[in-house]
Amino acid sequence: MDQPFIADRTVLDDATALIDIFGDRAGEEAAMRAAVSRQKGNVIRFCHWRQIERIVLALGSPDSQGTVH
């Protein structure tokens, strides 16, 4: 997986909140919220939730990403 892009702190806060509430299903919840936003034609919220889905997956990955010091 490529390194995920983090636009701002809100993305990390929302990802953390989903993980706290939904646990292992947080990525699925983010994907569902993205789908709802897309159906409503809200491109900004769609992109927001897709980004969160990627962050949740990255945070749950046992593999290191990027440079390891």
**Alpha-helix residue ranges (DSSP H) falling in 1-69:** 9-22, 26-39, 43-60
Contact 6, 12 (CB under 8 A): yes
Q: Band of the pLDDT at 51, cuts 50, 70, 90?
A: very high
Please, what's the largest Cα pairwise distance for the chain?
A: 43
> Does some domain include residue 66?
no
Handedness of CA 54, 57, 60, 64 (dihedral sign): negative
> Does some domain include residue 4?
no
Q: Band of the pLDDT at 4, cuts 50, 70, 90?
A: confident
Q: Provide the number of structural domains found in the chain.
A: 1
Share of the chain above pLDDT 70, in %: 88
| Residues spanned by the domain of 48 | 9-60
Q: Band of the pLDDT at 53, cuts 50, 70, 90?
A: very high
Task: Quote the mean pLDDT of the chain.
Answer: 89
> Does some domain include residue 1?
no
Contact 12, 58 (CB under 8 A): no
> Does some domain include residue 34?
yes
The whole-number average pLDDT for the span 6-24 is 93
